[in-house]
Amino acid sequence: MKLSLALLLVCALAIALASTGCRTPTSYATADDPHKIHVGIVFDIGGKDDRSFNAAAWTGVKCAETGLLPNGQSCGKPKLDIVLRDVEPGNPTSIEPAMRAFAERHYDLIIGVGFAQAPIMESVARDYPNINFAIVDGVSQLPNVASLVFREHEGSYLVGMIAAKTSKSGTIGFIGGMDIPLIHRFEKGYEEGARAVNPNIRIIQNYVGVTDSAWNNPGKGKELALSQIGKGADVIFTAAGNSGLGAFDAVEQAGTQNGRATHFVIGVDSNQNGVKPGFVLTSMVKRVDNAVYDIVQQVVNHQFKGGFHVFGLSEEGVGYAMDDNNRSLISPDVILETEAAKQKIINGQIKVTDAMAQ
């Protein structure tokens, strides 16, 4: 009896471990061609299907591997003939073993997704100076680490303008995921853009939480959105990973009037306009996909350089998404004004505060 119990527990734990992301690349490495460039990517806690930040990184590496988007369409860039392996850590403690497993297999490039991985990557990269590393949203001074950082405040400024122009109530909302400096950058840029259009606008700011579970709590995200709608907000910008999807539900629930939604949400990181067409005003896109593709390409061409790789409006690393899902929601005048502001930011005539530099 004791034996069968032990077996039961061992089975349960084995399944759990196998599926929480302690998968090492070892198991399939035998079939790989050793002459190809090997790329390993370690995702953030949100996982690669958050329809947002991690999804953008996944799109980028998938494009490099196959020349296709995850939905099977062409991504418009050549495939780079790499071997790609990914890990989705079930909890923060499995990030480091995953990175070390890639490094031990002599991968050519190891990509970490998310600010939280920066200190971990720093310690791993120090132990493997001959391997190239890239960290999205994080910063490292090591020569073998490329820091892929974005000027989110610039893109957020533009969607802040669009929000303020579209709002009828004079109140707009912001929902951040985890309360960290990186997300303050979105918040501050959004606020400045909105105030540039309407100095008296009221902006309600909320955060889902202060731990990493804040990225995965759509129920709380929806409650925050409903509370903001209750206080009069009619456009809500989310920068909260999976939790932001709760705000999408909240605006849909608020309904439509004469065929037009009464409340809108602004998506983040990936183009989320198609998540709930008609309710998504626009998305503050952060081209993590392009940044990740470029760094893979540089490794393939033996041109990898460590240090800062900064992606702002001028590099088209950030921006706002316009497509068939939202063209009818925003008036052409607003687009013209937003485009003018975009040029001014690129020329340096408008300076957007970077909340992380303060």
Partner 1 sequence: MRDLFNIGLLLSTIRLATPLILAALGGLYSERSGVINIALEGLMLAGAFTAASVTHYLQNPWAGLIAAICAGVLIASIHAIACIRFKADQVVTGTAINILMIGLPPFISGALFLSTGSTPQIPVNKLIPWTPVVIAFLLVFVTWYVLYKTPFGLRLRAVGENPGAADAAGISVTKIRYAGVLLSGALAGIGGAYLSIGQSSLFTRNMTSGRGFIALAALIFGKWRPVQTMLACLLFGFTDAIAIQLQGVRYGGEEIPNQFIQIIPYLLTIIVLAGFIGTSRAPRALGQPYEKER
Residues that bind partner 1 (CB under 8 A): 1-2, 4-5, 8-9, 12-13, 15-21, 46-51, 88, 90-91, 179, 204-207, 209-210, 213, 216-224, 226-227, 230-231, 242, 245-246, 248-249, 252-253, 275-276
Shortest distance in whole angstroms from residue 299 CB to partner 1:
25
Which of 237/304 has CB closer to partner 1?
A: 237
Exposed (0-12), middle (13-18) or buried (19+): which is 80, by Cβ within 10 Å?
A: buried
Query: End-to-end alpha-carbon separation of the chain, Å?
Result: 63
Q: Which residues pair with 323 in a beta bridge?
A: none
* CA 284 to centroid of chain Cα atoms: 10
Spell out the residues 6+ positions from residue 79 whose beta carbon is closer than 8 angstroms to its own: 63, 64, 65, 66, 67, 68
Q: In the bound complex, what is the minimum distance in angstroms from residue 200's beta carbon to partner 1?
A: 17
DSSP state at residue 175? E
Q: Where are the alpha helices (DSSP H) in 272-324?
A: 288-300
Q: Give the whole-angstrom CA distance, residue 220 versus residue 207.
A: 10
CB 98 within 8 A of CB 114: no
For partner 1, the closer of residues 46 and 155 by Cβ is 46
Tokens (6 digits) for 261: 């939604």
CB nearer partner 1, residue 277 or residue 307: 277
- d(C-alpha 4, C-alpha 6), whole Å: 5
The distance of closest approach from Cβ of residue 90 to partner 1 in the complex, given in angstroms and rounded to an integer, is 5
Grouping H, G, I as helix, E, B as strand and the rest as coil, residue 348 is coil
In the bound complex, what is the minimum distance in angstroms from residue 254's beta carbon to partner 1? 10
Which residue lies nearer to partner 1 by CB, 242 or 338? 242
Smallest separation (angstroms) from partner 1 to the CB of 217: 5
User: Closest CB to partner 1 among 252 and 315?
Assistant: 252
- State the minimum distance, in angstroms, from the CB of residue 209 to partner 1: 6
Nearest to 236 by CA among 220, 218, 254, 248: 248
Please, what is the minimum distance in Å from the beta carbon of residue 20 to partner 1? 4
**With respect to partner 1, which residue has the nearer C-beta, 61 or 300?**
61
The residue (of 45 and 120) whose beta carbon lies closer to partner 1 is 45
- Minimum Å distance from CB 161 to partner 1? 21
Concatenating the DSSP letter of every residue in 332-351 gives HHHHHHHHHHHHHHHHTSS-
Closest to partner 1 by CB, 50 or 294: 50
CB–CB of 190/158 below 8 Å? no
Q: CA dist 244 to 33, 151, 300, Å?
A: 40, 21, 36
215/219 Cα distance (integer angstroms) = 11
